[in-house]
Chains A and B, each alone.
Chain A
């Protein structure tokens, strides 16, 4: 089951000059995101930097105030449905239909994507088993842990063998084993020609699986290069140190000490 033939000739995702304003306040400014087939692009940024807004714009869930989003050279907003047929998306928040079971949710998504019934059943069973949640497949999602919901979301994103994967904090809630599987999965999918945008807070994951890293700060891209080049350029020995230099304004140790002092305040 490879997607090589489908992914070979594409140009991937190209978003240029993306800007999003809410009530005249720009939360994302002139961001360029380019993800070629076979690439895994890491997308880093502190809370509120505009990562999820960017991700929602490149999935077509939010329309940009300015800028274009092209997939294989065509604007995604020209034919959103055609674009989404080739998109797999794992959102930051695991919002699912709580009254459906994991299996029913995957069946709904697979049927909407018009997958043949026999193939869909095979894929669902295999994915649930490989993610270790087959035993809970028929229980309502309302009873799932965060990690189990995340596994269902990742399975749903992979069901239709998409060309482009956009993962927004996919390791959220996953246990160590599942995180390791996810990292290997991303590398394997990229090897098979998928274009992957990987938004995360976990530097280790980004450093291990991404060929390029984009750092977003206050809605603007402040760095865009491979993690090794960023380390060299910034003269730091880890991506975490690079990130700290780019976006961390205050001394974390001092902030931590201040927080502890506030917590210790007494009347």
Chain B
């Protein structure tokens, strides 16, 4: 059979991966793709330049010091390439197999199943490769060149460093991609199509939270690489996949830096000479690990790749219709419905409440938004704990702002994710139903959505963290912290919805100006969470935590009153507000 159908199908699948999974129907595909790629290239460029400053502005950069520092940076680039590619693959989770639409459209055509499967696989590889190249291009070329610019290297050695970096990050990206594909394949093969379809959304969300948290924590963990993980007896070295690839890189080109002739001691201050000797010793001690790590990288990459390909072929061997979707358990539906109706009386508020829960838990796009915000919150929590000193059990003196910041950081991240999620339409084409049925007043519907947000993103996290605080502090403090969290979370939720005048989940999405808003949101996030934790600690130490919680409750009620006053005057809004075309934004039309 000619390769033409496979080529055409691969192009079609690739385009669908981009259109369906990354870009909303209203958006300009080329503009969005350019933006995503530009963001990735800029990120790589920015990180490369920032990292290179340590080498460029070091007046006494010696081969030993450069070798040890490079371990840290190689780990960072390798781990970033691996986790970013895994993240992109996870985002396209539903498109990682021949789906029901493919089966219904292509199943009737005289094309062999294996041609379709091969085309799908080729499209997936191209999709992952596109992002991997965009992310790794700058670090591969610029970082090695800048890192060794002050060392006397030949052009051939420099090219070798660049090629090795490019190859290693490409292999690490491939590992990230095939690992996700293999996990998905194993689950589908073991659980069967029906059960897998049911649990796949939860697995995707869990993996997304884990990988995104790992990605965000990279700068913290990378600093431990050379000092703790590359010890001869270290188990971490064999457990952390990015380190395998660091080992591979060191085997390929490590000797270029490590074996360079050392400068004579006469030109070097004694402090630097001492550091150089220590670094050389450290590097040489770790050197014995590199061949083993490189071999592990080769074996694991080959195994994961083969496993992923075999399972992809096995799971897609037949083009079958998807299993019927599972019905909601009747007792659960009735139970939740009855409980909520006891608290929420008005039908329209109930509509807002239930639709919010349903959209957040079941719509893939909304689940991803919440998973991303949870990952951000968990990462922030780890940072907060790392920044604060370790607390001693019991006693107000032991309370640190770092540990107390975990709750506000997590709540703030989740609430910011929720605030973003309500702007995303649950299903753009179905918005007409809400548009025709709503009563012309958003107040009750928004109140219902806020109630759902308060339940999912304030009450549940606070309850989940309370046992931790009991364990770290004591029961009395933990209750006070929970009350502060509840009141503070509700106040933050009210504050975030001040000025929100649309129907949650039922209006067209207009992207915000991220260049302005993202830094403001980030600075506000840091400022408010730190302030909250600091004041909470002061209140706990002074024994006035309940007063602090009451104060937050008053703020919440005041914000609620302001919101009620603001909403008395109804402002018209467009359900299907369209973004300005790019030419208009650029002043070209």
Q: A113 to B439, Cβ gap below 8 A? A: yes
Interface check B359, CB cutoff 8 A? yes
Interface check A93, CB cutoff 8 A? yes
Q: What is the minimal beta-carbon distance from B429 to any residue of chain A, in angstroms?
A: 4
In the docked arrangement, what's the CA distance between A115 and B437, Å? 11
In the docked arrangement, what's the CA distance between A117 and B351, Å? 11
Q: A117 to B432, Cβ gap below 8 A? A: no
- Nearest B residue (CB) for A159: B437
Interface check A112, CB cutoff 8 A? yes
In the docked arrangement, what's the CA distance between A136 and B363, Å? 20
Interface check A146, CB cutoff 8 A? no
Pairs across A and B, CB under 8 Å, 13 listed? A93-B429, A95-B429, A95-B432, A97-B358, A99-B427, A104-B358, A108-B354, A108-B434, A112-B347, A112-B445, A114-B346, A138-B328, A139-B324
Within 8 A of A (CB), among B406-440: 426-427, 429-430, 432-440
* Nearest 3 Cβ contacts at the A-B interface: A81-B440, A111-B351, A99-B362
Interface check A132, CB cutoff 8 A? no
- Nearest A residue (CB) for B324: A143
Interface check A54, CB cutoff 8 A? no
Q: What is the minimal beta-carbon distance from B321 to any residue of chain A, in angstroms?
A: 10
Within 8 A of B (CB), among A58-114: 59, 61, 80-82, 84-85, 87, 89, 91, 93, 95-101, 104-105, 107-114
Q: B426 to A120, Cβ gap below 8 A? A: no
Chain B residues lying within 8 Å of A100, measured Cβ to Cβ, are: 358, 362
Q: A91 to B432, Cβ gap below 8 A? A: yes
In the docked arrangement, what's the CA distance between A107 and B440, Å? 18
Q: Taking beta carbons and an 8 Å cutoff, which residues of A are in contact with B?
A: 59, 61, 80-82, 84-85, 87, 89, 91, 93, 95-101, 104-105, 107-117, 120, 136, 138-140, 142-143, 156
Most A CB contacts (10 A, CB to CB) among B427, B433, B436 go to B436
In the docked arrangement, what's the CA distance between A119 and B61, Å? 79
B contact patch SS = helix
- Picked from B362, B427, B434, the residue with its CB within 8 Å of the CB of A112 is B434
Binary flags per residue of B324-354, CB closer than 8 Å to A gives 1, else 0? 1111101001000000010000111011001
Q: B354 to A112, Cβ gap below 8 A? A: no
In the docked arrangement, what's the CA distance between A117 and B324, Å? 29
Q: A143 to B325, Cβ gap below 8 A? A: yes
Q: A81-B439, A112-B439, A139-B325 are in contact. List 19 more A-B contacts (CB 8 A).
A: A81-B440, A89-B436, A97-B359, A97-B426, A98-B427, A107-B351, A108-B355, A108-B434, A109-B433, A112-B347, A112-B351, A113-B439, A114-B347, A117-B341, A136-B327, A138-B328, A138-B330, A139-B327, A140-B362
Q: B437 to A109, Cβ gap below 8 A? A: yes
Chain B residues lying within 8 Å of A138, measured Cβ to Cβ, are: 327-328, 330, 333
Chain A residues lying within 8 Å of B354, measured Cβ to Cβ, are: 104, 107-108, 111
Q: B430 to A95, Cβ gap below 8 A? A: yes
Chain B residues lying within 8 Å of A84, measured Cβ to Cβ, are: 436-437
Chain B residues lying within 8 Å of A140, measured Cβ to Cβ, are: 325-327, 362
Q: A115 to B347, Cβ gap below 8 A? A: yes
Chain A residues lying within 8 Å of B359, measured Cβ to Cβ, are: 97, 99
- Picked from A101, A112, A136, A142, the residue with its CB within 8 Å of the CB of B348 is A112
Q: What is the minimal beta-carbon distance from B448 to any residue of chain A, in angstroms?
A: 9
Chain B residues lying within 8 Å of A87, measured Cβ to Cβ, are: 436
Binary flags per residue of B3-14, CB closer than 8 Å to A gives 1, else 0? 000000000000
Chain B residues lying within 8 Å of A116, measured Cβ to Cβ, are: 347
In the docked arrangement, what's the CA distance between A82 and B434, Å? 14
Chain B residues lying within 8 Å of A156, measured Cβ to Cβ, are: 433, 437
Q: B437 to A113, Cβ gap below 8 A? A: yes
Q: A108 to B432, Cβ gap below 8 A? A: no
- Picked from B325, B328, B333, B434, the residue with its CB within 8 Å of the CB of A142 is B325
Q: A97 to B327, Cβ gap below 8 A? A: no
- Nearest B residue (CB) for A139: B327
Binary flags per residue of B355-386, CB closer than 8 Å to A gives 1, else 0? 10011001100000000000000000000000
- Nearest A residue (CB) for B435: A61
A/B pair count, beta carbons within 8 Å: 99
In the docked arrangement, what's the CA distance between A97 and B426, Å? 7
- Nearest A residue (CB) for B441: A81
Chain A residues lying within 8 Å of B325, measured Cβ to Cβ, are: 139-140, 142-143
Q: What is the minimal beta-carbon distance from B421 to any residue of chain A, in angstroms?
A: 14
Q: What is the minimal beta-carbon distance from A199 to any residue of chain B, in angstroms?
A: 16
Q: What is the minimal beta-carbon distance from A119 to any residue of chain B, in angstroms?
A: 10
- Nearest A residue (CB) for B361: A99
Q: A81 to B347, Cβ gap below 8 A? A: no
Chain A residues lying within 8 Å of B430, measured Cβ to Cβ, are: 95-97
- Nearest B residue (CB) for A116: B347
In the docked arrangement, what's the CA distance between A129 and B346, Å? 26
Q: A101 to B429, Cβ gap below 8 A? A: no
Assess A81 versus B438: contact at CB under 8 Å? Given A100-B358, A139-B324.
yes
- Picked from A91, A110, A139, the residue with its CB within 8 Å of the CB of B347 is A110
Assess A99 versus B439: contact at CB under 8 Å? Given A112-B434, A117-B350, A139-B327.
no
In the docked arrangement, what's the CA distance between A112 and B440, Å? 10
Q: A97 to B427, Cβ gap below 8 A? A: yes
Chain A residues lying within 8 Å of B436, measured Cβ to Cβ, are: 59, 61, 84, 87, 89
Q: B433 to A96, Cβ gap below 8 A? A: yes
In the docked arrangement, what's the CA distance between A214 and B576, Å? 30
Most B CB contacts (10 A, CB to CB) among A99, A105, A112 go to A112
Chain B residues lying within 8 Å of A139, measured Cβ to Cβ, are: 324-327
Most A CB contacts (10 A, CB to CB) among B347, B432, B434, B439 go to B347
In the docked arrangement, what's the CA distance between A249 and B152, Å? 83
Q: What is the minimal beta-carbon distance from B329 to any residue of chain A, in angstroms?
A: 8
- Nearest A residue (CB) for B505: A97
Chain A residues lying within 8 Å of B350, measured Cβ to Cβ, are: 111, 117
Q: What is the minimal beta-carbon distance from B95 to any residue of chain A, in angstroms?
A: 16
In the docked arrangement, what's the CA distance between A261 and B359, Å? 50
Q: What is the minimal beta-carbon distance from B340 to any residue of chain A, in angstroms?
A: 11
Q: What is the minimal beta-carbon distance from A141 to any residue of chain B, in angstroms?
A: 9
Q: What is the minimal beta-carbon distance from A33 to any residue of chain B, in angstroms?
A: 18
Q: B427 to A95, Cβ gap below 8 A? A: yes
Within 8 A of A (CB), among B308-333: 324-328, 330, 333
In the docked arrangement, what's the CA distance between A82 and B324, Å? 39
Most A CB contacts (10 A, CB to CB) among B326, B346, B358, B445 go to B358
Q: A112 to B328, Cβ gap below 8 A? A: no
Chain B residues lying within 8 Å of A98, measured Cβ to Cβ, are: 427
Chain B residues lying within 8 Å of A81, measured Cβ to Cβ, are: 438-440
Assess A111 versus B348: contact at CB under 8 Å? Given A95-B427, A156-B433.
yes
- Nearest A residue (CB) for B201: A99
- Nearest B residue (CB) for A107: B354
In the docked arrangement, what's the CA distance between A84 and B358, Å? 25
Q: What is the minimal beta-carbon distance from B20 to any residue of chain A, in angstroms?
A: 13
- Picked from B330, B341, B351, B363, the residue with its CB within 8 Å of the CB of A108 is B351
Q: What is the minimal beta-carbon distance from B557 to any residue of chain A, in angstroms?
A: 27
